[in-house]
Amino acid sequence: MSGVEPARDDREGATIRIQRFRKFNTRDVYPGGRHDNDMCMTVRAGNRIFLRGQTGFDLDQRLRDPADPAVQADQAMENARVLLEEAGSSLDHVTMVTTYLTDPAYRVPVYKTVADHLRGNHTVGTGLIVKGLALPELKVEVDIEAVIPASGEHRKYRPMNSRDWFGQGEINRDSCWLIDTGDEIFLRGQTGAEFDGRTMHGTGFTVADATAQADQAMKNARVLLAEAGSGFDDVMKTRIYIGDRAYREAVYQTIGRHFGDTCPCSTGLIMRGFARPEILFEIDLAIIRSRGTPHRRLHRFHTDEVYKDGQKLGMRFCKSVRAGNVVHLRGQTGTTLDDEFPFPGDPAAQADQAMKNITMLLEEAGASLGDICKIHTFILHRAHREAIYRAIGRHLKGVHPCGTGLIVDGFARPEILVEVDVVAVIQG
């Protein structure tokens, strides 16, 4: 392995404390009790709030209505309200909302319901269509991120309402393009849409169209970050969503030209769909201000020198980034840190390898498994879910992160069956 920078302790004077609310084990939650994962509903790390992905199950694990996506969304948002209040926060502090739907037909009723709960709070968001959620009867899952303001209110850039956005007046949702909480910046998921809410680039379904959308998304991100006094050097993590693997090479080459030598860590997913049918690509960015001290980027690499599947992505990444007490990792799969793939066809072994990688990368960044606040588990097939979660659970005994689990349409390579994302906050 190359590109490892020497460890450095950045925790002098840090006062971060992690609190975990409503701890549980999944064997007591899911039918059959076959999973064995120590989880929780909410994690508070300083003023940063992470929630478990919320669905139509209430906080006593009763499903409100297996047939109605709006009812499920209403329950998810009511859960979020209660959980945030228990952690000393509120819906007024919500910054980012990521909405996962299993059918695009659910979008209007779900978004109208979420909008009702967040009325007056202009949040940023991302909307994705996924292959499935934890159980077949679930139609919607909502990821909520929140930050308790240190003083006053968060700064919000370019407030808008969805009724003025590509003719979506029936949703009537308050939104904005960027939220600045002081140290952390939350950016709306970027696509090929311009700021006017009427102009979309790449409206066909070709590689050239996907490339045009990626280019516009990165131009948008650059402009928005500049308006907030930030830039690509502050980006820790990208999560890149693509509608078809055929777009991947060209899209990544485009993103790479914009990022240059920044070297974020990244997760790449093939998604079933987006907020509108013409969207082929979306990118989320995790951003923390460096404030004169560059982020530590460990295991830097160039995709064309490392990837062994013939893909020429033309991008510089790293495997972990630390900014102060916060650590983001590249999404981990069954690929070893030496870029070998020893377990084709074995979902449990791939999940185990991913967790071994996570353990090592966190340790190199000065963190540990016990610092994990949020875990996203992406899997390819529902049939693999039990084996994957049991493998992950063995590594996280006693940790109790909050989590979101999704079934997606694909990963960087067809033989990958699982990818695991974590964010950790080092206690000090």
**213 and 263 within one domain:** yes
Q: From CA 38, how far away is CA 96, in angstroms rounded?
A: 25
Using one digit for the tens of pLDDT, what is the confidence trace for 50-86? 999 999 999 999 999 999 999 999 999 999 999 999 9
- CATH assignment at residue 374: 3.30.1330.40
Q: Are residue 222 and residue 100 in the same domain, yes or no? A: no
pLDDT at residue 380 is higher than 90: yes
- Among the three residues 109, 133, 154, which one is the final residue of a domain in this structure? 154
pLDDT value, residue 35? 83
Q: Is residue 232 located within the same domain as residue 246? A: yes
320 backbone dihedrals φ, ψ, rounded to 5°: -155, 150
pLDDT in tens, 310-366: 889 999 999 999 999 999 999 999 999 999 999 999 999 999 999 999 999 999 999
Residues 338 and 267 in one domain: no
Q: Which of 292, 321, 350 is the last residue of a domain?
A: 321
Query: For 190, which DSSP code?
Result: B
Q: What is the rounded average pLDDT for all residues in the chain?
A: 94
Residues 195 and 240 in one domain: yes
Residues 296 and 379 in one domain: no
User: Do 300 and 379 sit in the same domain of this protein?
Assistant: no
For residue 87, being part of any structural domain is answered with yes
Give the alpha-carbon dihedral of 55, 58, 63, 67, to 10 degrees: -50
In a domain, 202, yes or no: yes
307, 363: one domain: no
Please give the pLDDT value at position 14. 54
Instruction: Convert the pLDDT of each residue in 245-258 to its tens digit.
Output: 999 999 999 999 99
User: pLDDT tier at 33 (50, 70, 90 boundaries)?
Assistant: low
Could you tell me the pLDDT band of residue 13, with boundaries at 50, 70 and 90? very low
Q: Which two tokens stand for residue 238?
A: 């990208």
Q: Is 410 in contact with 270 (CB distance < 8 Å)?
A: yes
Decide if 23 is inside a domain.
Answer: no
Range of the domain at 100: 47-154
206: left (phi over 0), alpha (psi -120 to 50) or beta: beta
Confidence of residue 32 (pLDDT cuts 50, 70, 90): confident
**Do 381 and 257 sit in the same domain of this protein?**
no
Q: Based on the domain organization, do 137 and 86 belong to the same domain?
A: yes
User: Do 272 and 392 reside in the same domain of the chain?
Assistant: no
Cβ neighbours for 179, distance < 8 A, ≥ 6 positions apart? 95, 96, 123, 124, 154, 155, 156, 157, 185, 186
- At 243 the three-state DSSP class reads coil
Same domain, yes or no, for 265 and 337? no
| Residue 247 and residue 268 in contact, taking contact as beta carbons nearer than 8 Å | no
174 inside domain? no
Q: What is the mean pLDDT of residues 285-306?
A: 95
pTM of the model: 0.95
Residue 237 counted as domain residue: yes
Is residue 376 scored above 70 in pLDDT?
yes
How many domains would you assign to the chain?
3
